Structure 1
């Protein structure tokens, strides 16, 4: 059985994992070490090497930099670079829970390769992400998990998916549900018939004046 992690352990400033005591400095200060990313710290400044590795990893993984170019930023070979950033793949991104409810929240899902879907909730006022949830499909349960991370807003903007609406009805009973403008336009264009003489809209006949 592995060693139990203390709830009072210092959290790693690089990957967020609880650190372990690792002796003391010559001045008697407690030294801490993260067993995941190997960061070592005796103060509040974190670990410069771990921070540099993580920055290089992010630039390489999300940008156009080649492996050789990324390795050069750390002054190492590509083989050494791969070994040194191995821990970065295991860092779980976190997002602090908002302390006050948003006036309106926009929620939607984006499907990515390998069967995953990322649900994201943003503050409709400024577009700031406030919560996210990984899932395999935009189900009621998945959206319920997303909404559980947020205080109830006054309104929810959604694409009209059944899973999202059902979860909102359970978690945010008093929130108004509003269809997004882009979704409304898509529905409108699906119902508009394009003819040789222009646009005809059988579903929305012209009203007599």
Structure 2
């Protein structure tokens, strides 16, 4: 026989008839209180919510044309699943940002297996990167696409961590200046040099590539120095885009961030940011595309839920509901701080 305890004194209870609705009534032999068991379906409802959020289903296909579903999962839309502080040290971490709108970005940090942290900001800048990185133990190598302010944040928070720029983003930056089909010989050769980055597998090949970039400059130096006079009589470089493409490559070489993956022999370092671009950002974009039409705040919370459910340490459902901040608690904190620092007229 199943044992039921009294919710008031925790003593053992016995069956005591049924209610008008047909539910089993229980009576405590110690304190005399009668009660019915309350079934907590929170965990079940959370599973239903996440299956819908991470799937392709639509609400109208659910019982009640989605009305019952919305009622059951309303509490989960009020939560903000936040990342825990990371004390475990990883050899390689990947950092990148995903924009949900023109002025809303989520910065994400991930290892090869799990998501370690996320932070919302208006755009990528050094303080936002610092806020994300301060909660995570410094790795040996970090791989990124070189977002705005990242270098400064890395130098401040993780000063002893090596930085590897994603080679595909390096190539894409050159391609943006030269286009896919350059018209000039210098542009064609520089575009080819950028593609050759993908074939560099050891330090000897890296030095050969650097020498080739230097030879390119010497070969086309007079061509790159050509100037054009505009209608106002001002001089500017005729091939400014090629010069910018070359400068971006030399900047990475000087900063030692383009061939970092070749410097380590005891660990495997990828030259690409595929773990985030393909393993995280692509899935986030697919999720938001499947549920297009969500308000911006819910799109942000959907990203939070995905990151939290793919993190390494998840709380139980009761702990999640008890510990994670809600819209109400955040609004009360903002109201209290706003009144505290308000300046009297």
Q: CA deviation at 1:206?
A: 8.0
Instruction: Say if 1:119 and 1:24 are closer, same or farther in 2 by CA, change over 3 A.
Output: farther
Instruction: Say if 1:190 and 1:78 are closer, same or farther in 2 by CA, change over 3 A.
Output: closer
Match of residue 104 from structure 1: 92
Cα distance between partner residues in 2 of 1:190 and 1:80: 50
* Larger relative contact order (Cα-Cα within 8 Å, sequence gap ≥ 6): 2
Match of residue 107 from structure 2: 119
2:110 touches 2:116 (CA, 8 Å); kept in 1?
yes
Match of residue 164 from structure 2: 178
1:135 counterpart (121, 133, 139) = 121
Match of residue 154 from structure 1: 140
> What TM-score, normalized by structure 2, do the two folds share?
0.41
Unaligned stretches of 5+ in structure 1? 1-21, 29-46
Cα distance between partner residues in 1 of 2:152 and 2:131: 12
Query: How many pairs are equivalent?
Result: 163
Cα distance between partner residues in 2 of 1:96 and 1:145: 13
> What TM-score, normalized by structure 1, do the two folds share?
0.65
Q: CA deviation at 1:23?
A: 4.1
More helix by share: 2
Cα distance between partner residues in 2 of 1:163 and 1:197: 34
Cα distance between partner residues in 1 of 2:184 and 2:157: 48
- Larger Rg, first or second structure (1 or 2): 2
Post-superposition CA distance 1:138-172 (Å, at most 9, x none):
11111111001101111221212231111111101
Q: Spell out the pairing of 1:184-203 with structure 2 (5 A cutoff).
A: 184-192=170-178, 194-195=181-182, 200-201=188-189
Cα distance between partner residues in 2 of 1:90 and 1:168: 33
Instruction: Say if 1:186 and 1:82 are closer, same or farther in 2 by CA, change over 3 A.
Output: same
More strand by share: 1
Post-superposition CA distance 1:59-84 (Å, at most 9, x none):
223332121333x3xxx663232222
Q: CA deviation at 1:177?
A: 1.7
Cα distance between partner residues in 2 of 1:179 and 1:202: 19
**Runs of at least 4 residues off by over 6 Å:** 196-199
Instruction: Say if 1:55 and 1:115 are closer, same or farther in 2 by CA, change over 3 A.
Output: farther
Match of residue 68 from structure 2: 80
Cα distance between partner residues in 1 of 2:155 and 2:107: 17
Q: CA deviation at 1:115?
A: 3.4
Cα distance between partner residues in 2 of 1:158 and 1:50: 38
Instruction: Give the root-mean-square deviation of aligned CA atoms.
Output: 3.0
